[in-house]
Every structure is written in C-alpha cells, then in structure tokens.
C-alpha cells in the first residue's frame, strides 16, 4: 500500500493510452498529450509518453503532472513522424514514488524493443519478482509493472511474435492488469480475465487506425470514436493489417470490474461497460435517498465526485439541490503537505463553504467515501462554521473495512475508520448529525446498463482472486537504498 498519501481520500493506480495511425497523419505527440490530460484524474504523481518512429522506440517520463513533465520545450524535442505512441499517468499503490517507476517502461532485447503501460495490481508480483531475481534479473524500480516487462521479455525471446508472448505472460500473472504494449510494428492491448480495471477501444477518423484507453473520455480527447470495451481476458493487436482479437483467455473467470470505478475513479463523462459514470452516480444518490431519508432543506455534494450522487439524492427525495462548496481549482500538488498543521491549512485553501447555501439550514452532505475520517470531519466542520443548522452525512459507497489488492490505495485495516467502529460511532467521530452508507446490495446495481459483476472485496472481504499472503517484509516498501539494487533508469 502507498505510504506517502497524507490525504484522507482514495487514488486509483494509473491511466493507460495507446494510439496507432497507419497513415502517419496524426500528430502523435499532441494526441497522447491530450489523452493524458483527459486521464490526469487517474494519476498525478508521474507520467510519460513513448513514441515509435519507423520502428525506433523512445520515451520521456518523469515525476509530476502532465503539464509539468511535458513543457513546451520537452514537447518540441520529442521525435516527430511517429505512427504509434503510448502514454501513462501513475499514482502508486505498489512501488515507491520514484522516477524509475514512471511509465511507459521501455525495454530493449535482442528481438527489438517494447514499451509497457500497466494499470492495476498483481497479487503474485512479489513471488514472481523473487523468481526472476533468482534467475539473475536486476530490478531498477519497485513496481509490479517491471515484473510484467521482464516476463514479457523472457517469453518474447522464444515466442514467434509479441502477441504470443503476451498470452504466455497472462498465464503467469494474477490480479488486475489493463495493459497497452507497443513493439516496433504493433500496438497491443490486454485485459485481465476478471476485467478489474477498464480498458476500451476507439477508431480514428476515416478508419485510419485505432486507440486504446483506460476511459472513453481519452478517446474523445483525440477525436476517436468509441467502439467497445476490451473484453476481460482479451488481447487486441493493431498493426498494418488492421485490428484482430485473441480470446483464448476470455471466459476463464467471472467479470468483476472494480465498482469504485463508477463511484469515484472514472470521469463522469466516461462510458464503462455500457453505463456512463454520471448515470451510475445519479443512481447511487437515488438509492441513498431511498435507504436513508431525512427531513432537510438542501442537498449538497462534496466536490467533485459527490456532486452527481448529491443530484440523484435531491431528485429522489425532492429536497432542493444546492452548491455548498467552492473548490479552488488553482491549488496544485504543492499543498499535499506532510504536517498536520499544513494539511489543515490547505483544506481551507482548497475548499470553502458557501454560507448563503447552508446557513441556518438542515443540510444533506453527499460524499463518495470515508477512509480515515479526518477529511470528513474537517469538511463537516466547515459547514458548521458557515452556519449549517444540521449536517446529515450520506456516503455513496458501503463502509471500507478491508484492503484492496487490485490497484486502489485503501489503507491497512488499522487506518480505516469503519474497522472497529459502528456507524453511530463514526457519526460522532466525524461530527455529523446522522450518517448513512449505501448498502452492498445497491452498490452492485449502480451500473444500470451494464451486464457484468463487480469486485466489492474492500466492503465485504470476499475477493474474486485470492489475495496474496501477508509477507513479513514487503519488498516494494523497502527504501531503495536497502533493496538488492539501488540503480535508477
């Protein structure tokens, strides 16, 4: 789990993107840059772009937001004339925050090169890493993406083509992975058999080529037409011959996408498995109003992921919807501070209540989750100080009581407020008048147009894939100076 996130909020691991234009008319640098901007919400710690110019692969990656890493000078210096490119934004849930863990990871071997982008988390990464180390592999970073890259390389040395190597690697890795892989002639997308993380296909204008993305909003950003989601277990290959599908891993496991993609992670304008995220969040609010009605004067949402659910609550309950907070959109990562005093100060700079909406009123505050409870308490205190008469807290997800092993940085149970506390105790701790969570039954009914199952392990402790045993020492959390290698790429 990520140890350096001080905020009481959740983060998803990554966003991936790949694009192939057989005509060469697409400005690949501009396209990937735009796509990464669209996926920035999925990762704000590092990003990168890899380009394929006449079979020669190169990349640029670093810590920071997209506009920080890809300055005007960097963009101008990137190679021109690429027909293929990949991009990645990262938030670490396994591996430390170092440049060596940034992606795409570029690997050179005797049969060529490949750039690897990964979203998700493997449950057997540590076991595979140890096996690879015993065979002489030297790791430069601490993420499980590097494990995938080594396995792909080993398989490619004996496989007849890159897609066979991908298939053979999928036989070994377990857990969540949505992959975009670029070789000197092909762009490949692959999704784990459970389909934990989203991945979709887009077609470029005029049938010029294809794009793969974590969310459909990235396809919109580059003008690609959304075609469909990549099926769980499917491998897709885009090259000069067109697009072809390999389905040998399909149907090997139940489809269990992470339900939190709909609650929090994905952008509201993205369509995942047939349901727009905005629709799912409206439905969450409707269910909340049915499960936890209350007499109130106004419904407000916690920016930004609570806004849609708050609107759904207002529609279902008949209570007027209002804008209760103003979020400062010009505050960047500078205010992710280490000390408690700094974090308290940054809350007021990032978020401020609107007294004219809440003063003297009974307020329903809708939020997506409570993790540790510290941010919830501060948010409710802002409403009290702005004059709210009552604050009724409604959460569009069930209580978090278990960790996630598939790419969400839910803390250890010891840090989860719902572990060891009843709902009434949590209500007192965060300072609300009443508290209501969405039920597990209703959370699996949010995607109203989707025909798939959902992973709810963080709520129920029942995981679609067996979680890894808890090691005495987690190799991914060792400081690099104490690892078997402290080299950087």
The catalytic residues are 14
Residues 6+ apart with CB under 8 A from 468: 123, 124, 126, 127, 405
> Where do the DSSP E strands lie in 134-204?
175-182, 187-191, 200-203
**CB 119, CB 266: distance < 8 Å:** no
Sheet holding 298-301, edge to edge: 298-301, 362-367, 390-395, 434-437
**Peptide bond connecting 200 to the previous residue in cis, omega within 30 degrees of 0:** no
* CB-based contacts of 479-486 (< 8 A; 24+ apart in sequence): 479/96, 480/96, 480/98, 480/142, 483/139, 483/142, 484/133, 484/139, 485/138, 485/139, 485/140
- In angstroms, the first-to-last Cα distance of the chain is 23
Helix and strand totals (H; E) in the chain: 16, 23
Collapsed DSSP state (helix, strand, coil) of residue 110: coil
Structure tokens at 81: 């004339």
User: CA nearest 204: which of 193, 180, 186, 220?
Assistant: 220
Cα separation, 163 vs 183, whole angstroms: 10
Cα separation, 41 vs 301, whole angstroms: 18
């Amino acid at each position: 789990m990520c140890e350096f996130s001080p905020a009481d909020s959740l983060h998803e691991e990554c966003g991936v993107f790949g694009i192939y234009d057989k005509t060469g008319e697409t400005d690949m640098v501009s396209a990937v840059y735009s796509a990464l901007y669209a996926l920035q919400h999925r990762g704000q710690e590092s990003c990168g772009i890899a380009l394929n110019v006449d079979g020669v692969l190169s990349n640029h990656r670093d810590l920071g937001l997209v506009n920080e890493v890809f300055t005007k000078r960097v963009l101008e210096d990137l190679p021109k004339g690429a027909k293929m490119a990949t991009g990645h934004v990262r938030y670490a849930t396994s591996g430390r925050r170092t440049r060596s863990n940034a992606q795409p990871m570029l690997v050179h071997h005797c049969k060529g090169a490949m750039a690897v982008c990964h979203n998700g988390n493997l449950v057997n990464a540590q076991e595979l890493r140890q096996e690879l180390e015993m065979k002489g592999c030297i790791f430069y970073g601490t993420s499980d993406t590097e494990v995938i890259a080594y396995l792909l390389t080993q398989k490619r040395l004996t496989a007849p083509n890159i897609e066979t190597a991908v298939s053979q690697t999928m036989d070994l890795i377990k857990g969540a992975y949505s992959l975009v892989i670029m070789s000197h002639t092909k762009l490949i997308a692959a999704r784990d058999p459970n389909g934990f993380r989203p991945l979709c296909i887009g077609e470029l204008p005029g049938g010029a080529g294809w794009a793969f993305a974590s969310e459909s909003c990235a396809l919109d950003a580059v003008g690609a037409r959304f075609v469909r989601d990549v099926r769980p277990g499917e491998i897709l290959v885009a090259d000069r011959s067109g697009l072809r599908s390999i389905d040998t891993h399909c149907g090997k496991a139940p489809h269990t996408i992470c339900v939190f993609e709909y609650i929090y992670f994905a952008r509201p304008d993205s369509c995942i498995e047939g349901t727009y995220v905005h629709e799912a969040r409206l439905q969450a609010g409707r269910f909340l109003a049915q499960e936890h009605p209350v007499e109130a004067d106004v419904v407000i949402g916690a920016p930004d992921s609570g806004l849609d659910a708050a609107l759904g609550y207002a529609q279902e309950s008949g209570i007027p919807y209002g804008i209760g907070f103003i979020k400062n959109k010009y505050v960047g990562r500078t205010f992710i501070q280490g000390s408690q005093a700094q974090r308290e100060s940054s809350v007021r700079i990032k978020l401020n209540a609107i007294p004219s909406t809440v003063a003297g009123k009974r307020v329903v505050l809708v939020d997506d989750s409570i993790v540790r409870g510290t941010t919830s308490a501060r948010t409710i205190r802002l409403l009290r100080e702005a004059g709210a008469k009552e604050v009724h807290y409604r959460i569009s997800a069930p209580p978090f009581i278990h960790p996630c092993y598939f790419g969400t940085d839910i803390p250890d149970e010891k840090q989860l407020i719902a572990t060891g506390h009843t709902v009434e105790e949590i209500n007192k701790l965060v300072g609300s008048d009443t508290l209501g969570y969405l039920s597990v039954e209703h959370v699996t009914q949010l995607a109203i147009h989707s025909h798939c199952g959902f992973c709810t392990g963080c709520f129920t402790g029942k995981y679609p894939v067996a979680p890894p045993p808890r090691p005495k020492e987690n190799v991914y959390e060792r400081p690099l100076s104490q690892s078997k290698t402290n080299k950087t790429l």
